[in-house]
Amino acid sequence: MKEKISSLKTYFDEIEETNGDDECRAWLDKVFDAKLELATFVAARRGKGRATEYVGFLKGSFNFAFRFKFSDGGPDAIIRFPKPGHTATALRDEKVTNEVQVMEYLRQNTTIPIPYIHSWGLTVDSPHQFGPFIIMDYVEGVLLSKVLKRPTENDQEEMVLDPNIDNAKLNKIYHQIADYLLQLSQLTFTRIGAISKDGDTWSVTKRPLTYNMNELATVAGYPGDRFPTSPFDRASDYLKSVSREHLVHLWTQRNLADDSEIARGRFVARNRFPQLISEHCVDDAGPFILYCDDLRPSNMLVHPDTLQITAVLDFEFTNAMPAQFTYDPPWWLLLSGPELWLDRGSIEEFLALYEPRMEQFLQALEFVEGVSAGGKQNLAAPRLSTRMRDSWSSGRFWFNHAAKKGFEIDVVYWAALHKEGAGIELLDDDTRAELEPFIETKMEQLRAYNKECTARFS
């Protein structure tokens, strides 16, 4: 199976994805028609100055925003909505509520540059019930990913770190982000899930809402009633829930296997994952650390001349999580994740590119830790840089990446977690007995899916 790793790349359900795109386009038409009404709404919620100019719009993978200028001379403001079809309808209010709570908490407890929030509300509070919204200051800057990426001919080319980037430039960026991650590593909770404030006390009160859950809900046909509904008290319980999520995905998404061999490879990978929990789970009883699934250069703004980070954006999938996620070296050091290279069957190429940048980042983190310790800041032992080195050398990095990336678990398992044999022999008798019926089910699903695609797209 290892020689066919690239065939295990997980594709979205094209029908689900198209349905979501259609829903989003119809929604955008209505939002643009209400642009002037939204300007008045933003001005009223902002509470000072009238809206004098529509500046433009901003769009990302999950969110869409209008930018307006105001008569009081203050910063421009944006109103940002999660895009229906790209964020599951059932998750939109929850996503925005969680993000606002996290942004307030981070403004109180870190020096991470967070845009100022003027107002926010749920779907019921928005004009025409367009969806939950956040009204916040617009922050000047360019996307950090654009500053760091290799020059490309067009936006369709894969985004990867410029191999010729100046090391001094990269070090300046790494030192800032290392400082942010060090601060985040010290924000601990007693449970796993979304945080909220009761009086002056912050705690975990709700289930974790993750990046992967939203992907499954929008582009895999995943049943929403199979997601967890409450927080977790132990890391192992959370990881077992994730393993069940991977298995439900395996059985649910109809186009997950093009042939019986691919079906077999995915079956082994996703049934082996829970067997690896005891080996890779650390700090089972906590404390648990605030972790953002999507903290990366694509969600950071930077001054193009000084390289000072001016804002960190998009905290909607931030939760108190197993500490071991925080203990991983950043997966985004090459801008794209390792799956870009694993999908080509080239883990060796990834390692050759990634490890030098990882060492550069860890040296930046060690410098930041030294400055913090010199300032009498109490840093837990072992230090974060030491834990990151251990995560990498032990292979826990790959286990954690598979836990967080439900669309990549199969290729990660066969490239980095599987050790020897066909894998099926490592499963128990009851699980092995499910294999052939599973393959038959996936082939039946695929035939029905292909028939529906032909009718829909031909």
Q: Which DSSP category does 151 fall into? A: P
Q: What average pLDDT does the structure give for the chain?
A: 95
As a whole number of angstroms, the distance between CA 148 and CA 158 comes to 13
pLDDT digits (tens, 9 = 90+) for 205-262: 999 999 999 999 999 999 999 999 999 999 999 999 999 999 999 999 999 999 999 9
DSSP 414: I
Residue 187 tokens read as: 């924000």
Q: Which residue spans of the chain are classified as CATH 3.30.200.20?
A: 34-139
User: With 90 as the cut, is the pLDDT of residue 92 above it?
Assistant: yes
Confidence of residue 5 (pLDDT cuts 50, 70, 90): low
Residue 277 confidence (pLDDT): 98
Strand order in the sheet with 288-292: 188-189, 288-292, 318-321
CA distances from 299 to 8, 60, 130, 216 (A): 28, 9, 24, 21
Is the CA virtual torsion 224, 228, 231, 235 positive or negative? Answer: negative
Cβ atoms of residues 87 and 214 within 8 Å: yes
Q: Is CATH 3.30.200.20 what the domain over 34-139 is classified as, yes or no?
A: yes
What proportions of the chain, in percent to the nearest 5, are helix, strand and coil? Answer: 50, 15, 30
22-67 confidence digits (pLDDT tens): 999 999 999 999 999 999 999 999 998 999 999 999 998 899 999 9
Residue 4: the pLDDT is 59
- pTM, rounded to two decimals: 0.95
pLDDT at 373: 67
Please state, for a pLDDT cut of 90, what percent of the chain lies above it. 90
- In the sheet that holds 142-143, the strands lie side by side as 142-143, 300-302, 309-312
123-176, pLDDT tens digit by residue? 999 999 999 999 999 999 999 999 999 998 777 778 999 999 999 999 999 999
